Chains A and B, each alone.
Chain A
Amino acid sequence: GAVVSQHPSRVICKSGTSVKIECRSLDFQATTMFWYRQFPKQSLMLMATSNEGSKATYEQGVEKDKFLINHASLTLSTLTVTSAHPEDSSFYICSAREGQRNTDTQYFGPGTRLTVL
Chain B
Amino acid sequence: GNSVTQMEGPVTLSEEAFLTINCTYTATGYPSLFWYVQYPGEGLQLLLKATKADDKGSNKGFEATYRKETTSFHLEKGSVQVSDSAVYFCALSWVTGGGNKLTFGTGTQLKVEL
Contacts and interface: CB of A to CB of B under 8 A. Distances in A.
Q: Which among B42, B45, B99, B103 has the greatest number of chain A C-beta atoms within 10 A?
A: B99
A44 B45 CA distance: 14
B20 interface: no
Given A110-B42, A111-B43, A49 B101 contact: yes
Contacts of B98: 49, 51, 57, 101
A51 to B, nearest CB: 8
A4 B98 CA distance: 21
Interface in A46-102: 46, 49, 51, 57, 93, 95, 97, 101-102
Interface string B70-114: 000000000000000000010001010011111111110000000
B9 to A, nearest CB: 9
Contacts of A108: 36, 43-45
A44 B43 contact: no
A43 B45 contact: no
A27 interface: no
Interface size class of A (residues with CB under 8 A): 20 to 34
B106 A41 contact: yes
A98 B104 CA distance: 20
Q: Which among A4, A44, A105 has the greatest number of chain B C-beta atoms within 10 A?
A: A44
Interface in A14-43: 32, 34, 41-43
B107 A43 contact: yes
A46 to B, nearest CB: 6
A101 B99 contact: yes
Contacts of B44: 44, 93, 95, 108
Contacts of A4: 43
B23 to A, nearest CB: 12
Given A32-B99, A57-B98, A109-B43, A104 B107 contact: no
B99 A43 contact: no
Given A34-B101, A43-B107, A102-B99, 17 more contacts: A32-B99, A34-B102, A43-B89, A43-B103, A43-B104, A43-B105, A46-B101, A49-B98, A49-B101, A101-B98, A101-B99, A101-B100, A102-B95, A103-B100, A104-B49, A110-B42, A111-B43
